[in-house]
Chain A
Amino acid sequence: MQFGVFTVGDVTEDPTTGTTLSEAERIKAMVTIALKAEEVGLDVFAQGEHHNPPFVPSSPTTQLGFIAAKTSRIILSTATTLITTNDPVKIAEDYAMLQHLADGRVDLMMGRGNTGPVYPWFGQDIRNGISLAIENYALLRRLWREDVVDWEGKFRTPLQGFTATPRPLDGVPPFVWHGSIRSPEIAEQAAYYGDGFFHNNIFWPISHTQRMIELYRKRFEHYGHGAADQAVVGLGGQVFMRKNSQDAVREFRPYFDNAPVYGHGPSLEDFTRETPLTVGSPQQVIERTLSFREHFGDYQRQLFLMDHAGLPLKTVLEQLDILGEEVVPVLRKEFAAKRPAHVPYAPTHESLKAAAERARELETIEEPTR
């Protein structure tokens, strides 16, 4: 199982000090967090893409390329890549480029984006969100898999004789996850292609997340990619830890109460009861995270949100130390012990490359009989 962090890259005032990072400081802080994630033994660093303040990461491949140069092991991913408002041709090129620079340590998570004005700013309409996600992704897949593409659709200029360069590293396109909180169409899309499905698992009660994942698993099997329990599931989660759980609650409360998304709404106690947010000791985080398996089945990727709502970098780095030293080693062991042998790991560049080679060998062996 893969463990990692995902960040939206918000610039938010620290409510306890009244200080706000500059954009430069926040961007560099995100890099520091990514390097720390690798240092403490995490497997994935995923960052958001936004085109409006107070968020800084509008150019994920620039930032991930920079991080790639300073790391050697961690997988670089997105949370999410806007498949609706980005040109799929540019996504194909940018991420193939990143794949080469990062020696294959790249995958992507597609998302639609829910900020209304971003769509018209990029010449689109939010009411076409699902259709854009379906059509753009269908084109993106072809651009990565076919050397020369002739294509015509509803939303972008037709292509005639187009080759996206560079070609994917080793001829293996990056693995793709599809993220959605509540659109069954996106679970259906992920299942159809046999791609991964990611639920951010932060803003919805567990019962909703469960329905989405059950739908994805059922349809994954329907489309013949394997049994439902072999579908590739990723989950988000949100934690804040201190040795003593009361200290965690006391320290995190002002950040929770003033957080951009849910601040000034439900109490910390209500929110931790109704959503997967866990504020407490490392042991509590371990128990809560292990309980996800009871609700969603064996899954392949767990990402934690750790650096939002104005939490200072120093605190975030301490959280990563606790995560890497005390939490993830236990989770790895416990999840591995419970995972049946037929449940696959999340695909990586190496595993996809090996699978492609096996498929080619089979083809060569079968050739004479055809």
Chain B
Amino acid sequence: MKDRVIAVVTAGLTTPSSSRLLADQLAAAVRDELSARGIGTRIELIEARDHAHDLTNNLLTGFPSAELEKVLATVAGADALIVVSPTFSASYSGLFKMFFDVLDDQALAGKPVLLAATGGTERHSLVLEFALRPLFAYLKAIPVPTAVYAASTDWGPNAATLRPRIAQAATELVAALQHETPPQADPYDNPTPFADLLNS
């Protein structure tokens, strides 16, 4: 079976960030889960911070730079996504949203997505259900049921409860991957014939 491509989009701002840390752990769990089933994995890690200027420019000019275009194509071409945002003002960060604002609105249709977020305290954990999940539902992606939130304490005293959540989410993402996502028709290669346009 061909390798599965997992695109990881993380919007942490510091280096290293806890969002990146969580992204790495989720990616490793997904890779392990796939490898247990004899499937190879290619992880494509994307730090939104690296493209912050290009994202702004894309919003202003309406088109991506050559480099950002490659990144967007990687996401659109991936078999599944892992997305991680820090929690800002009760939601995903602006930078995280900008990435998905410039991505083609059909690019994620039918794609399994593992939702994750980080924050200072556990009190923000429902950002996953009230902000991230509706966003990806709107984009017609398929968010898996378990979403993973990591607060500061999850990196120390509560680590024992973070690990099973990561494992559970990874299992669900891999299970969702079994479904083949339908390939998207390329309107340039297969344009709608004019007779159909005229009669529609």
Contact = CB atoms under 8 A, between A and B. Distances in A.
Interface string B186-200: 011001111001101
A114 to B, nearest CB: 9
Contacts of A261: 61
Contacts of A191: 194
A265 B194 contact: no
Interface string B162-200: 000000000000000000000000011001111001101
A138 interface: yes
A263 B193 CA distance: 38
Contact of A266 (B65, B187, B198): B65
A112 interface: no
A203 B192 contact: no
B69 A203 contact: no
Given A184-B188, A184-B191, A274-B66, A134 B61 contact: no
Interface in B122-166: none
Interface residues of A, number: 31
Nearest to A189: B194
Nearest to B69: A205
Nearest to A273: B66
Interface string A312-352: 00000000000000000000000000000000000000000
B61 A265 contact: yes
Contacts of A89: none
A215 interface: yes
Interface in A113-145: 130-131, 134-135, 138
A262 interface: yes
Interface residues of B, number: 18
A158 B74 CA distance: 49
A185 B197 contact: yes
A203 B191 contact: no
B62 interface: yes
Contacts of B200: 131
Interface in A146-205: 184-185, 187-189, 191-192, 203-205
Given A184-B188, A215-B188, A203 B61 contact: yes
Indicate the member of B56, B69, B188 with the most A CB atoms within 10 Å.
B188
Given A266-B57, A270-B57, A185 B191 contact: yes
Interface of A: 130-131, 134-135, 138, 184-185, 187-189, 191-192, 203-205, 208, 211-212, 214-215, 219, 223, 261-266, 270-271, 274
26 contacts: A130-B197, A131-B200, A135-B198, A184-B187, A184-B188, A185-B191, A188-B194, A189-B197, A191-B194, A192-B194, A203-B61, A203-B62, A203-B63, A205-B66, A215-B191, A219-B191, A261-B61, A262-B60, A262-B61, A265-B56, A265-B61, A266-B60, A266-B65, A270-B57, A274-B65, A274-B66
Interface of B: 56-57, 60-63, 65-66, 69, 187-188, 191-194, 197-198, 200
Q: Which 8 A-B pairs have the closest CB atoms?
A: A265-B60, A192-B194, A266-B57, A184-B187, A265-B57, A262-B61, A188-B191, A184-B191
Given A134-B197, A215-B188, A215-B191, 6 more contacts: A184-B188, A188-B193, A262-B61, A265-B60, A266-B60, A271-B61
